[in-house]
Amino acid sequence: MTTGAPAAHGRRWPARSGSSFSAPSTTARAIDEARPDALLVDVNAWGAVAAAEAWGGPWASFCPWPLPLRSADAPPFGPGLPPARGPLGRLRDRLVRPLAFGTLERTMAPPINRLRAELGLAPVGGADELFGRAPLLLYMTAVPFEYPRRDWPDNVVLVGPCDWDPPADRPGWLERLDRPVVLVTTSSEFQDDLGLVKAALQALADEPLAVVATVPAGDPPAMPVPANAHLERFLPHGLVLDRAVCAVTHGGMGATQKALAHGVPVCAVPFGRDQLEVARRVEVAGAGTRLPARRLRPDRLLAKVREAIQLREGARRIQQAFTATGGPSAAADAFETRLLHRELSQKLPS
């Protein structure tokens, strides 16, 4: 990636130890071919992260989902537990952490370390060490949606979500809706969560609301669609959220934070992965409600949506926190001042 940085950083990096790779890494080959000024990689792209570290030039990573770091102030990552309260809560965290997070680390470490070994890097022992390797880690959320903590690593900067939509015209049918809107969306990665759409269409069919449902992981299924609902494969959510009173999500970080960035409360129905953590944060932040997928029924969902609609002020509080972080401009500033300027200062004669 070429950063488009100011002239002081605009030169191409010369060849250096570690800048030529024998491993069959797409990122490594791209680095050798493009000779970039700096790199920005997704923390979930383990091979790209390893290649960036082995390269030796300025690089940063970004995390668009809950960051699985140990903290004395946050519950163990994974099962979606609420923050601990009192001695019993802290005891719970000490007992659960090695069972939940330790299992995740033991699963992740071997393949990550195989990739690192191919590039001549030392192994990492766990998530804290892995996520600490980047000189800068842009964490795409903000407190109080993320649990506040006193022990953030020095390389982590919270910059808020990336609230972006592809350019699109507002559909005529959306313009003609004359009721408050509820957005319903499933994961963009297949996880068999169409039951959420089916339950929502049934639950809200008789409500004085308009329902807009999207199923980005596949074509809209053949199912009864009530008169007050529209079912689409894809529609930029920003077009809908401008008029929404609630968003029913699968607990994905992207869809959930996008709704909150618009000040729209969320009813989160998590199915797995990081969705358990996201849904719990919605609830703890007072910005919406949480309904575990195993308890999903139309009547329960309706009750949770009605409750979430009343939490508009909590959603707006999160919206204000996201705005205060600076968003993409804050990420760019952190990249420039904490990464490129530091790299340049280290190379200038003293």
Q: How confident is the model at residue 75 (pLDDT cuts 50, 70, 90)?
A: very high
Give the residue extent of every domain in the chain.
7-160+326-347, 172-323
State the greatest distance between any 2 C-alpha atoms of the chain, in Å, as a whole number.
72
Q: Does the domain formed by 172-323 have CATH 3.40.50.2000?
A: yes
> In terms of pLDDT, which residue wins out, 224 or 185?
185
What's this model's pTM, rounded to 2 decimal places?
Answer: 0.87
Mean pLDDT of 233-243: 93
pLDDT tens digits along 114-154 = 888 888 899 998 888 889 999 999 999 999 999 999 999 99
For the chain, list the strands marked E by DSSP: 39-42, 59-63, 136-139, 156-158, 181-185, 210-214, 229-232, 244-249, 266-268, 288-290
Structure token digits, residue 103: 């299992």
Tokens 């719990």 correspond to what residue? 280
CB 322 within 8 A of CB 330: no
Number of H helices, E strands in the chain: 13, 10
